Chain A
Amino acid sequence: MTTRNAEFEILGLSSDATWDDIKRAFRRLARTYHPDVAGPSGARKFAEIAEAYMTLKETVSTGSGKVSARGARRAGRETGSGESLLSVLKRFWRKIFPRNRETKEEYSRSGGFSPAASRFVGGVITRAESDMYGVLSRREEFASRTRSDAIIRRLKSRRPAVTLLALRQLSKSGMNGDVASAAVEHFRRNRPCGEVLEVMLDVFANSPKRDDIIRALLLHAQKFTEQEAVMLLGRLKRWRAKPEFMRPFLSHKSPAVIAGTLSGWPENSVSGERSELTILLCKDDEAILVPLLRLLKKERLPRWTGARLLSLMKEHPSAAVRVWASAIVRDQKLS
């Protein structure tokens, strides 16, 4: 009976409590000590309450009134949840304490710290310091690796909305090499669209991997929509990208993209790409021809262009094209 009184006490009840009282008390206490409310620190207390509740439950039949006196608890269970962490710690203490006391007596007998002992202790401490330093220095690495893993996983998502989330996160927190390589690899295979492309360009604007990502994007150059390609070209112009990065857009299906490419073309690197450019003389759009002619003005042009330039000068509906063509014809003395 005494053992069972302890259970009543844990639940804050007197020993004449009914089963309903027990349940109510258990729930009231659970509300305070359940680990979901009190955090991990409540776990031990909750286990104690639950144990008391279970013990009392076993002695009653559900729904009956008073707790019956039969079924006293088995006494002296050696193991199980009854043993609290505290008692384990105490046992620990008892084990190590006497030895420590002996140690101290030994030291006092030997008259304190000998130089040899001091050297040894110093060595042990120094090693522990450097080990601990090693652990601490890996801390940031650990944290950033978990972060990068989460971002890379999302970057690779098939849903643009999720990729976008990852990129937004990157634009806030910055990017490390692993993430950048993963992004380059991902966008090499999958063409980014619309907003994803825009945010990605922002993220990579100042990254050392910028050229890598541009190369990956150029694999999809022909597939970008007009709007996407124009935006991309705008960035390339701002970054003063090499002409080789702009070249794939010269064969884009939209005249506006070609015009954009030409207007952003660096003037000092025309000769290298002369053949690519002169081919474009066959196009008819004013938007393409005007910047093209401006770029080609100082170049030596192949012989076949003469006839085309003359026809542009005479027949093209746009006055601007006619003026530029005639200027080139005059300069190069084609007539």
Chain B
Amino acid sequence: MDECIIGIDLGTRYAETAVDIPGRGVSIIPNRWGGNRTPSMVGFTKDGLVAGEDAARLMLTEPETVWWDMKRHLGSDWTARVAGRSYSPEEMLLPLLSLLREDAEAFLKTFISSCVLAAPAHFSFPERGALARAARKAGFDRVRIVNEPTAAALSAGIGGRFLVMDFGAGTLDMSLVEGDGGVFQVLDSRGRRDIGGLDIDRLLAERLCRNAGVPLSRPSDPRASLMMREAENVKIALSGAKRVTWRVPAGLADDGRAVEIDRAEFESLIYHIMEEILNMVRKMWRKYEPEKLLTVGGSSRIPLLRQMLAERVREPDCGGGSRPEDAVVTGSALYAHQGRERLLIDVLSKSLGIMNADGQAVPLLRKGAPLPAQARQVFTARGSGAIEITVVQGERKVRGGGRVLQTLTIGGVSDGETVEVDFKVDGGGLLHVEVKRGGNTSRRTISLDFDESDEIQCDFASEMRIREDRIAKLSMSYPDNYQSRLLDIAKDARSLKNDDASLQWEALGVLDRMITELERAAAG
């Protein structure tokens, strides 16, 4: 078996991994506890960090040492403070991602160093960057990002125009996808980060506590997390049964009392959330008039939601008969092998621009552009010093509109020097910024710090071609022995074409130094 690329759905509540083996289809990878879904939790013990079920178990006894909402804080300054050390969201994701990788390695019996990570469609560039960075630290050398609803569309594999609604524990995402003979093109995607299954759990937990006469505990209380788990179970049971009896566990009340809750009560409780979701769906529906509605994600099992969608929009479809929870991870695994017969083209969900001198955002890449996309901007220094470039994400063209992602400072430029800045967004919405400066000789690549791969893949072949041409030009006037030595050096450099990018840059640097000196000598 050649290299395996696994698909990872890193959900707010549960994480899943799957692999697409050519000829055998997609299989979900079981974790070390024998289940398919690993709780997305990380806990701190005195022996170090634990993740998955271990952390979930810790949650019941010492909830203050367990975190599970890292994903929502990605790309922000949020930190978890434990035992005098603070952890960034990326560091918190590390044990979880390593665990997923190891389970996959144990299952597939091979090293795994590439993955496709599903991210919510509404994730911004810094959030995606942070996610990719966390995965890279966890041992995945090559990381691709795919949007969750888009991945779900890929797993369904249906043609025509359809709306995918991904309603998970923490997020609500929608994508409008057009399938056309194996090419899936995303036309629009949007999402809300404040609606999710957890909000339903919270409401249900409050109601259950009130009905049972159990005092509602503060979120930091161990009992609160126990209560959330109980509420989740009751919610799931209510999807199948009309009436559920909830026996209050010993941790919350000692007398073993029980309360009943029926589906009607539950539905009245969550009606306003469902109404809001329906509004979003209807808005997309009116705008694009799709043919099908695909619902994925665990929370899309709620009968009320399905009923409301069927009555007011369209009968929802689960797609391919697979479980709605598995759609995203299946799609991510498929995305790893995309090619001629199955190609997914995503879109840029928010436009990307730079701020001009008046403080207005000038879009470079427009919203809805097919990915991968790239734009080049040439800046000319007025006066020596530094060029400052402010990268902005968002739509509004008014002063101060859009969200400032980062300010790039290119120092040490002379008056009139031109600097080329390449903005590249890859197929999964990861942004790379490349700065080329100094006219012909030195080329420097820097990147925004939310995509830390300093060694951006350089287009080595074309860089080499430029230098080889110049060497050929130079050597024309040289005696034969010098000519052949120069060609040998160029040949050596070319032989690095499959090597590490940092070595390639170094070789190019050697050539540049040589060419500059020779040219200067030739010019007198």
* B369 interface residue (CB < 8 Å to A): yes
Is there an interface contact between A124 and B518, defined as CB atoms closer than 8 Å?
A: yes
Which residues 11-49 of A sit at the B interface, judged by CB distance below 8 A? 23-24, 26-27, 30-31, 34-37, 40, 43, 46-47
Contacts of A69 in B (CB 8 A): none
Which residues 49-77 of A sit at the B interface, judged by CB distance below 8 A? 50, 53-54, 57, 62-63
* A279 interface residue (CB < 8 Å to B): no
Contact of A113 among B141, B288, B479, B511 (CB under 8 A): B479
- A40's nearest neighbour on chain B, judged by CB, is B459
* A188 interface residue (CB < 8 Å to B): no
Contacts of A31 in B (CB 8 A): 182-183, 340, 343
Size of chain B's interface in residues, with CB distance under 8 A? 80
Is there an interface contact between B479 and A118, defined as CB atoms closer than 8 Å?
A: yes
Is there an interface contact between A27 and B506, defined as CB atoms closer than 8 Å?
A: no
Is there an interface contact between B139 and A103, defined as CB atoms closer than 8 Å?
A: no
Min CB distance B53 to A, Å, is 13
Is there an interface contact between B522 and A107, defined as CB atoms closer than 8 Å?
A: yes
* B110 interface residue (CB < 8 Å to A): yes
* B78 interface residue (CB < 8 Å to A): no
Contacts of B111 in A (CB 8 A): 150, 154, 165, 169
Is there an interface contact between B139 and A50, defined as CB atoms closer than 8 Å?
A: no
Which residues 466-512 of B sit at the A interface, judged by CB distance below 8 A? 466, 470, 473-474, 476-479, 482, 485-486, 488-489, 492-493, 495-496, 499-500, 502-503, 506-507, 510-511
Complex CA gap A281/B307 in Å reads 82
* B178 interface residue (CB < 8 Å to A): yes
Is there an interface contact between B103 and A103, defined as CB atoms closer than 8 Å?
A: no
Is there an interface contact between A34 and B343, defined as CB atoms closer than 8 Å?
A: yes
Partner-contacting stretch, out of B35-43, B84-92, B201-209, B374-382: B374-382
Min CB distance B289 to A, Å, is 7
Is there an interface contact between A37 and B340, defined as CB atoms closer than 8 Å?
A: yes
Contacts of B519 in A (CB 8 A): 99-100, 103
Is there an interface contact between A95 and B440, defined as CB atoms closer than 8 Å?
A: yes
* A128 interface residue (CB < 8 Å to B): yes
Min CB distance A20 to B, Å, is 10
Contacts of B439 in A (CB 8 A): 95
Contact of A139 among B183, B378, B496, B510 (CB under 8 A): B496
Contacts of A139 in B (CB 8 A): 496, 499-500, 503
A-B contact count (CB 8 A): 183
Tell me whether A128 and B476 are in contact in the complex, defined as CB-CB below 8 angstroms, given that A121-B482, A139-B503, A161-B106 are known contacts. no
* A1 interface residue (CB < 8 Å to B): no
Please, what's the 1-or-0 string for B360-376, where 1 marks a CB less than 8 Å from any CB in chain A?
Answer: 00001110111011111
Complex CA gap A107/B496 in Å reads 34
Contacts of A80 in B (CB 8 A): 364, 375-377
Complex CA gap A161/B108 in Å reads 10
Tell me whether A165 and B477 are in contact in the complex, defined as CB-CB below 8 angstroms, given that A40-B459, A128-B511, A139-B503 are known contacts. no
Is there an interface contact between B489 and A132, defined as CB atoms closer than 8 Å?
A: yes
Min CB distance B457 to A, Å, is 8
Binding site for A on B (CB under 8 A): 32, 102-103, 105-106, 109-111, 113, 139, 141, 178, 180-183, 185, 187, 287-289, 338-340, 343, 345, 364-366, 368-370, 372-378, 420, 427, 439-440, 457, 459, 462, 466, 470, 473-474, 476-479, 482, 485-486, 488-489, 492-493, 495-496, 499-500, 502-503, 506-507, 510-511, 513-514, 517-519, 521-524
The 6 closest A-B pairs by CB, nearest first: A161-B106, A128-B514, A103-B522, A27-B183, A131-B510, A81-B375
Known pairs A128-B489, A132-B493, A153-B139. 14 more at Cβ < 8 A? A23-B185, A35-B372, A54-B369, A79-B378, A80-B364, A81-B364, A81-B373, A102-B523, A104-B476, A129-B489, A135-B510, A154-B102, A162-B105, A162-B106
